[in-house]
Structure 1
């Protein structure tokens, strides 16, 4: 693969020109300290970063980039939870500094770095709000986004966090109805912020709509049905669902309520395509990028998907807004076969929270072992 600075000819540059902000779904201290993150900004049109417990667990489990800080934290006798808080917020703050120029150049739209509230709080609105405020204060950068899951309890937390003037990345959205509720929670938060005299222009939000996981769950059900009609619908649900989410975004931000807030300085909450790495190896590796090109969106990609897009992604302009009828047809056909959309999305939300809790457990275990090893090495001296 040619490793050259991106030009208008590169697929990632074309994607950016089509209105899609490219964010990297990964972060590690090694990326920060070696200049790797800066290189992706310069050469791959990357303008933001998302993180989650899985990403931090993987980063901490390899290499030596965290050793010095772990030794300091172990010597100070901090708890595992406090160590995780210090380590992850330091990475996010440093990445935010790297993206500050992008943040300024985009008038605060991009250059964003996301950090997630502990997933164990997904069903506790009060604790989520408190943690969101604590994370925002600790990172203390204007371009940080606090990730809050779109559970029922998360909706209240989204409203109150936005109302406090804190920018939010709403994560784990699977259903169109929940997405509608997320938009309402955002607008309600903006109304509260406006009433409190907070400058709406400084508040940004993205709504992370998950894509490939929808196909994984639906395709499993289609395979079980096994008919030619069912098998012909495989790998179509995720894109159809996301396209209809974009239609909903267009509709909800065209309402008088939303337009009044935008007129008062507020920003629209952009749709973000998450879970965009293909899970089925028979699919094109850029499928969830090239088929979801639309203005004012974000696509957060694993590095493998980013590199595939840069190498051979075919960007042909907007691939969303002309396909609403087809997308509705896909969901109707699935319903006709007995694939229960509400059950699919409820299952995915539940599994999504569970997976992040498992990853959080792995992160706790990794940091616990690192602290114990550091304490032991000091004691042995």
Structure 2
């Protein structure tokens, strides 16, 4: 049976995506079940997710044995293993992709995070992954570093759908939307059908509260403590305001007239880091039309169990969100520094997970040799 809370979330215009993927989830039919009962209409993955998936059980052993027989490198083995799962998930999501006129039913695969500071290699890797998976409902994840921005434009210009990841600040988000607009202009110039290109901008949420709360506790004043847990939601709500402004321009309307679809905000990192907080807060307080919320399994379960969806919880909040930002700065929190630290840490965490993934695959290759 359909879950009432998740159905209400979908009815409110939020696309429910699952922030997890594994071969066991695919093989057991779990993802298909979530699609039919929990309103899941998309999937995101990242190096951390794949590192965890490949370290558990024997679901990958048959393919690893074949890769051993072929004598492929570790890097190529990772591409083959992750590409297989992404292709399978994309095929499973194909009916959703078609039913939603190519908006949802999307599955995301990230470029090697070690390339986050290399524009040209990011472009080449994105094109290679697009060719490898060869599914129209694929999205290539590219981090929103300064070097990633021109890559986003060029990859979109090739007609490739892009999930821009690791966005923390409003300034960087506006740059991401500019890169998207430029990419769609380039795609038009290259003769691509703009209606077939989708993009989401993954705005990270809970990590903002984790970093800001740490600083507020260090400051320790009553004023600072009163602001705990307010930064992330304020940041995301102001991001939605920026989205509304960017897609209400003559520049955008000209592209929309050619069939282009707007780049949707995607709320990522929606699992709470502080157990004192309501475990559904980064879902129920960020309900807005034409957004995506990608949830780890625990958050999806929490929303299904006790989430209270009360319509749009973003519109009408912009002034209070700006006041929260002003109060944080007045209390001594340097938000520019916060967002810079989070971007650097975000890239490094994915690099560390990628290195762990390479080590795990290398160990499996040796054990099955």
TM-score category, normalised to shorter length:
over 0.9
Task: State which of 6, 21, 34 in structure 2 corresponds to 1:12.
Answer: 6
Distance 1:83 1:256 in 2: 46
Structure 2 segments unaligned to the other structure (5+ residues): none
Contact conserved, 2:219 with 2:332, CA < 8 A, in 1? no
| Cα deviation 1:167-218 (Å, max 9, x = unaligned) | 0000000000000000000000100111111110010000000000000000
Q: Secondary structure at the match of 1:101?
A: helix
Alignment partner of 1:55 is 2:73: no
Alignment partner of 1:175 is 2:178: no
Structure 1 segments unaligned to the other structure (5+ residues): 376-381
* 1:141-156 alignment runs, 5 A limit: 141-156=135-150
Distance 1:186 1:280 in 2: 33
Count of residues in correspondence between the two structures: 369
TM-score, normalized by length of structure 2? 0.99
Deviation of the 1:264 alpha carbon:
1.1
Task: State which of 63, 68, 82 in structure 1 corresponds to 2:62.
Answer: 68
| Cα deviation 1:134-183 (Å, max 9, x = unaligned) | 00011000100000000000000000000000000000000000000000
Deviation of the 1:337 alpha carbon:
1.2
Look up the match of 1:188: 182
Deviation of the 1:35 alpha carbon:
0.4
Look up the match of 1:354: 348
| Cα deviation 1:61-100 (Å, max 9, x = unaligned) | 0011100000110111110000000000110000000000
Look up the match of 1:317: 311
| Cα deviation 1:282-341 (Å, max 9, x = unaligned) | 000000000000000000000000000001100000000111111001000001112111
Which consecutive aligned stretches of 4+ in structure 1 deviate over 2 angstroms post-superposition? Answer: none
TM-score, normalized by length of structure 1? 0.96
* 1:239-318 alignment runs, 5 A limit: 239-318=233-312
Look up the match of 1:138: 132
Deviation of the 1:259 alpha carbon:
1.1
Task: State which of 323, 330, 333 in structure 2 corresponds to 1:329.
Answer: 323
Distance 1:17 1:191 in 2: 32
Q: Secondary structure at the match of 2:294?
A: strand
